[in-house]
Each structure stands twice: as structure tokens, then as C-alpha cells.
Amino acid sequence: MVLKEDTLTVAEAARVLGVTPATLRRRVARGTVAAQRDAANRPVFRRSDLVRGGQVDFSVFPPDPSYWPSPVLTPEQRERGLAAMARLRELNHEIMAERGGRPFSPSALELLDEARDERTRQLG
């Protein structure tokens, strides 16, 4: 059996995924979304499965913060995290200076634009 605080009902999972409950049920029937069963044999969904499986499209449907509460960090953890971020920024600046300010590879948008241009030429 799945723990209650880690699960979502069909309606809750549909809201998180940005689909209707009927669409979610179809996805379960097709096997594209994993569902568990609770004690009453109703389908329930693990939050972690939805996120890990890439089911949640955060660009279209931002996460509800109440479903993913932020952990409370101790002052030591916070300071360690801030120090790590500062060191990463320094390292990034060092690497960029060594490369003359050039990034490692083209951005995804540049690659998409090139692919679109090439396809337009092919169809042209």
C-alpha cells in the first residue's frame, strides 16, 4: 500500500498534469502513466512517479507549491549551499575566460533555428 501523503487522487493528479480526469484515465489504460491502488482499490498516483517520469510539464502547468513543500534548511546547510553556488560562479567565470567568452556549444534555440532554416530550404 502507498502512503497517503505521497499520493494523489485521480482529480488531484489530473490537475497537477494539466489534463482532465478522463484523459488521465486513458493514459493509465494505455500504460503511459503509472497508477497504484489504495486500500479501497481506487487508483492513486505517486507524486514522485509523475515528476520522475517526466509527466509534469512545468512550462505549461507550474507546480503547486503545496504538493512539493520546500525543506527547511539549517543555517549551516544554507551557508554551505550559498558557498557552493559562489564557487560555481567563480569556476564558470574562469572557464569562460579560458575559452575567450565562448560557450561550449550552441544553445538549443540556435540549433532549433538552424534546423528550421534547413527544413525551409529543403521544402523551398
The confidence score (pLDDT) of residue 54 equals: 59
Residue 10: inside a domain, yes or no? yes
CB–CB of 7/45 below 8 Å? yes
Residue 66: inside a domain, yes or no? no
The confidence score (pLDDT) of residue 52 equals: 65
Instruction: Assess whether pLDDT exceeds 80 at residue 104.
Output: no
Confidence of residue 96 (pLDDT cuts 50, 70, 90): confident
Buried b (16+ CB within 10 A) or exposed e, 94-107: eeeeeeeeeeeeee
Residue 70: inside a domain, yes or no? no
Lookup result for grid cell 482529480 = 11
Residue 117: inside a domain, yes or no? yes
> For the chain, what is the mean pLDDT?
79
Determine the average pLDDT of the residues in 76-83: 93
Q: How many domains does the chain have?
A: 2
Please indicate whether residue 34 or residue 80 has the higher confidence score (pLDDT): 80
Instruction: Assess whether pLDDT exceeds 90 at residue 90.
Output: yes
**CATH number of the domain that residue 36 is part of:** 1.10.1660.10
The confidence score (pLDDT) of residue 32 equals: 80
Residue 64: inside a domain, yes or no? no
Segment 4-20, tens digit of pLDDT: 557 888 988 888 787 88
Confidence of residue 124 (pLDDT cuts 50, 70, 90): low
**Residue 31 carries which side chain, given as an amino acid letter?**
G
Task: Compute how many other C-beta atoms are within 10 angstroms of the C-beta atom of residue 35.
Answer: 19
Owning domain of residue 81: 75-123
Please indicate whether residue 121 or residue 81 has the higher confidence score (pLDDT): 81
Residue 89: inside a domain, yes or no? yes
Confidence of residue 75 (pLDDT cuts 50, 70, 90): very high
